[in-house]
Amino acid sequence: MKFNNLFKFLLVILFAVITSNSWAGNTIKWSMKGDSLTLDPHAQNEGPTTMVSRQVYEALVTRGLDMSIGPQLATDWKTTNPTTWVFNLRSDVKFHDGSKLTAGDVVFSFLRAQQPTSDFKEYIDSITSVKALDDYTVEIQTKEPNPILLNQISNIFIMSKKWATDNFSIVPQNYDASQENFASSNAMGTGPFRISLREPNTKTVFNKNNTWWGDTEHNISGIELLPIANAATRVAAFLIGSNCISVMLCSTFPHHLPFFLKTVFVLGSLKVILKGPVPIALVAENVSCPASQFCGAITKLSVAHCLDIINIFDNWFKRIGFGLLVLI
């Protein structure tokens, strides 16, 4: 995610769950401040957009609940030399249209994500080649040893090559130029949900993918995403039962949060879960300046001593949970 959007979408996430008719019908109504900007999985690296994409699309690897990297579309992987990775794919994965996932789809998706209009190209700029060794084996080569490659490719979603080609969506949507393509309003992934209705900024309906390869750990049959920009309106909709789950994303610590908590606790039938983020602040050198201006260890150490780390944590990170400050 772009750094200037990190705090906008992840400082405070409030999940409030209420028993309603929608819940009884195994359909979650989910509301948050903003809608997905696009359904094209490589066009916009932005919070709500990625949240929606992850319901429909999958990557070779993914993070578990403990944040460790684990298998997703790849069952396992190995390095055959410092710059070569080999991934073995699941042989039982199908796209939502019933077609089988193959290594060709993975190669296509990586090359697509490297295109100029992709907002994910920086994640894989170390990759020099991606090729299919057979239908279920993919080889990735990098310019130099890359110890964080698995972390980076967990953000590269895999598309159907045939679907994208047939629908003239070989390259990612040029979002900055207000371009639209078939993939920006339709989706064809391998994930646990498929999109059956898309009305931007109004409503998106997800149905359970009954042919999903993974183990289902829920009884949800569908999701309705209802973006509501105004926090008070979103809370009101939640309280009258219009939304089963209300996700409140705020750019600062929400001034409406005390009122919201007071209200829901008075009702007594609600379960409120407050989930904080993992904020990371990076202080990096200006790479456009001559390297000699900031490459010395003494200079960097001086800057580190100038930072009041304790004060930063006491007056910033403690207010929003916890975090990490890194001087590069």
Mean pLDDT for 267-273 is 59
Distance CA 120, CA 123 (A): 6
Pick 251 or 130 by higher pLDDT. Answer: 130
Higher pLDDT, 116 or 20: 116
Q: Span 212-229, mean pLDDT?
A: 89
The answer to whether 43 touches 143, Cβ cutoff 8 Å, is no
For 255, phi and psi rounded to 5 degrees? Answer: -70, -20
Q: What is the pLDDT of residue 231?
A: 76
Q: What is the per-residue pLDDT for 34?
A: 85
**Which residues contact residue 321 at a Cβ distance below 8 angstroms, ignoring those fewer than 6 apart?**
276, 277, 278, 279
> In this predicted model, which residue has the larger pLDDT, 42 or 261?
42
The pLDDT of 77-92, averaged and rounded, is: 97
Q: In sequence order, what DSSP letters do the residues of 313-324 get, joined into one string?
A: IIIIIHHHS--E
% residues pLDDT > 70 (the chain): 69
Q: Give me Rg for the CA atoms of the chain.
A: 22
Which residue has better confidence, 243 or 90? 90
For the cut 70, the answer to whether the pLDDT of residue 282 exceeds it is no
Task: Go through the domains of the chain in sequence order and give each one's CATH number.
Answer: 41-185 (3.90.76.10), 280-327 (no CATH)
Q: State the chain's maximal CA–CA distance in angstroms.
A: 65
- 28-37 burial, b at 16+ Cβ within 10 Å, e below that, comes to bbbbbbbbbb
Average pLDDT, the chain: 80
Alpha-carbon distance of 282 to 308, in angstroms, equals 14
> Among the residues of the chain, which ranges form H helices?
3-10, 21-24, 47-56, 103-113, 149-153, 161-166, 182-185, 231-239, 257-267, 297-306, 309-312, 318-320
Task: Report yes or no: 285 and 299 within 8 Å, Cβ to Cβ.
Answer: no
Residues 119-178 pLDDT 10s: 999 999 999 999 999 999 999 999 999 999 999 999 999 999 999 999 999 999 999 999
Mean pLDDT of 9-18: 34
Q: Can you tell me the mean pLDDT for 198-216?
A: 94
CA atoms within 13 A on the CB side of 110: 24
Highest mean pLDDT among 7-11, 200-204, 311-315: 200-204
pTM of the model: 0.75
**Mean pLDDT score, 199-214:** 94
pLDDT recorded at residue 288: 53
Crossing angle between the packed helical segments 47-56 and 3-10, to the nearest 10 degrees = 80
pLDDT at 60 over 70: yes
Mean pLDDT score, 86-111? 98
Reduced to 3 states (helix: H, G, I; strand: E, B; else coil), residue 238 is helix
